[in-house]
Structure 1
């Protein structure tokens, strides 16, 4: 009876091959791919091409009972100086931007809306206008964007209700966030020009149809005249992006994480392909040289054997 003991050695051999390939791919090629793409990304898009600004850095002013303005000055920084960042420390700060540059804005606003008891609305579903505009020297405000959205507001009669037999799993604040936290996203607001005439950036939340509290052009009007309170969440923020002439660079700056993932994968595939080609070529050339060396040695042995026979 013959026992085949070669398959364990073959299994160990292939396992070692797979392990080596996995280690090379994860430990060497993947970090190298990320570093290579990061250098390419930094070359195309400088690190100061975007400025993340929390809404807590703005000054809040209220006009009447139903209009709220978040205003902040723009500090123009020349290209020869480093661009400071806005620290997310909850303090009011000016917004540093590059001078004479066009910016695009992505904004996310998360907030609670409260309605005072004496002016309770008939419905929780209310409407609001979110407006983005700039204040300029010696001229009217320049409207950049206006969005009319439905929101939910809390009245004194509202409370957290749970199905019968169920208990509150988390804190009441978490439950309020689940049921009452409004979220408004505004993407790709253009035409923010940081020329010498532009002084401030303003975010307006308007809840009433009254031109006394609104800049002409962005007030859509509402049926109720209630007294509102706006509680802004700390996650509210704006992202100011330099508007590049090439559309692909704008997309890379806007979708930074997706760009890094896709770019790293592409570079990883290219490096792996080059390594495979190099390895196959090296093995082929080595085998060719070994074959030629074996033929040469065999020919020498044959010649010596022939000479020995002749001498005999």
Structure 2
């Protein structure tokens, strides 16, 4: 009786090839794709092409809601390309905003804050209008203005905050974030011209309120390029990395697979047939 086991051996052989290819992809190809794209990204966009500035490093000039609201200001210092661009330290201490000289920047703003009524009045609404003004202090030129509705904390407003926090298995602060945290985002709205040497932010409400900012609030300055692809890579860094690494991984995997499969096919053809006789 003859049993042909060549198909079984061939299946085992190709399964071993597939496992080898998978291991090579996970431990060699993917890390290589990450390193290659990261190197390409840094060559196209230097590390100082964008600068993150924590909002609590700005100087607070005024804290009077009835006059100008909350006013924050900071000087802009331009650094020549021959010198290293200092990064803003996240230490809560006022410090200049460092930008490259002769470069046009785009500014993105992300503010996360709580609003608290200063006077306890049951007649007041929890919905309050906040006005944001951004301008060049030295040139007295207004750059941006926007009004948005926000919610302000008051004791009379019935929410889940009146329920013990143990019911939600979270801290009281997490409950406050869930129900009372306001967010203001500006993306690709403001240009910082090379001659600007200062920038001011004014936030004001009609009613007497207090604003409490989250530590994650900040400003991002990024170099503006006439090339749309460069601007996209600066604005959407995570998306760029995801797409870029995926493309590099696909290209390297394709080349490796074609080479490996061609080699395996040639070797397989040269192997003698495996037949065993079992009586």
Normalised by the shorter chain, which TM-score bucket? 0.7 to 0.9
1:89 is displaced (CA, Å) by: 2.2
Q: Distance in 2 between matches of 1:240 and 1:159?
A: 40
Stretches of structure 2 lacking an aligned partner (at least 5 in a row): 271-279
Q: Distance in 1 between matches of 2:11 and 2:267?
A: 25
* Number of the residue aligned with 2:101: 99
Q: 2:76 maps to what in 1?
A: 74
Q: Which of the numbers 198, 201, 204 marks the counterpart of 1:203?
A: 201
Query: Once the 2 structures are TM-superposed, how far is the Cα of residue 144 of structure 1 from its aligned partner?
Result: 2.0
Q: Is the 8 A contact 1:151 1:182 kept in 2?
A: yes
Kept after mapping to 1: 8 A contact 2:116/2:153: yes
TM-score (norm 2): 0.85
Structure 2 residue matching 1:29: 3-state secondary structure: helix
| CA distance in structure 1 between the partners assigned to 2:51 and 2:266 by the alignment | 53
Separation in 2, partners of 1:14, 1:155: 68
Counterpart of 1:81 in 2: which secondary structure?
coil
In structure 2, what is the equivalent of residue 35 of structure 1?
35
Partner in structure 2 of residue 123 of structure 1: 125
Name the counterpart of 2:275.
none
Whether contact under 8 Å (2:105, 2:191) holds in the other structure is yes
Please report how far the alpha carbon of residue 287 of structure 1 lies from its aligned counterpart in structure 2 after TM superposition: 8.8
Name which structure has the greater RCO, CA cutoff 8 Å, separation 6+.
2
Q: Structure 1 stretch 199-208 or stretch 261-270: which is displaced more?
A: 199-208
CA-CA distance at 1:237 after TM superposition: 1.0
**In the TM superposition, what is the alpha-carbon distance from 1:98 to its structure 2 partner?**
0.7
State the Cα deviation string for residues 63-118 of structure 1 (Å, max 9, x = none). Answer: 53251112111121111001111122222221111112111111111111111226
Q: Give CA deviations for 1:244-284 in whole Å, capped at 9, x if unaligned.
A: 11111000111001101101111111122222343455567
Contact in 1 for aligned 2:117/2:208 (Cα 8 Å):
yes
Aligned ranges 1:220-231 → 2 under 5 Å: 226-231=207-212
The answer (yes or no) to whether the contact 1:160–1:175 under 8 Å persists in 2 is: no
Give, in angstroms, the shift of residue 202 of structure 1: 1.6
Does 2:169 correspond to 1:188? no
Q: CA deviation at 1:185?
A: 0.9
Q: TM-score if structure 1 supplies the norm length?
A: 0.77
Say which of 257, 263, 266 aligns to 1:276.
Answer: 257
Counterpart residue number, 2:240: 259
The alignment partner of 2:84 has SS state of coil
- Distance change in 2, residues 1:8/1:190 (3 Å): same
Pick from 211, 225, 230: which aligns with 1:244?
225
The 5 Å alignment of 1:16-27 reads 16-27=16-27
Q: Deviations over 1:110-155 (max 9, x none)?
A: 111111226665210111112222222xx32x22222211100112
CA distance in structure 2 between the partners assigned to 1:121 and 1:233 by the alignment: 28
> Could you say what the CA RMSD is over the residues aligned between the two structures, in angstroms?
2.9
Between the aligned partners of 2:161 and 2:85, the Cα distance in structure 1 is 50
Unaligned stretches of 5+ residues in structure 1: 209-225, 291-312
Residue 189 of structure 1 deviates from its aligned partner by 2.3
**Between Structure 1 and Structure 2, how many residues are aligned?**
268
Distance 1:129 1:180, change over 3 A: same
Question: Which structure has the greater CA radius of gyration?
Answer: 1
Note the C-alpha offset of 1:5. Answer: 5.9
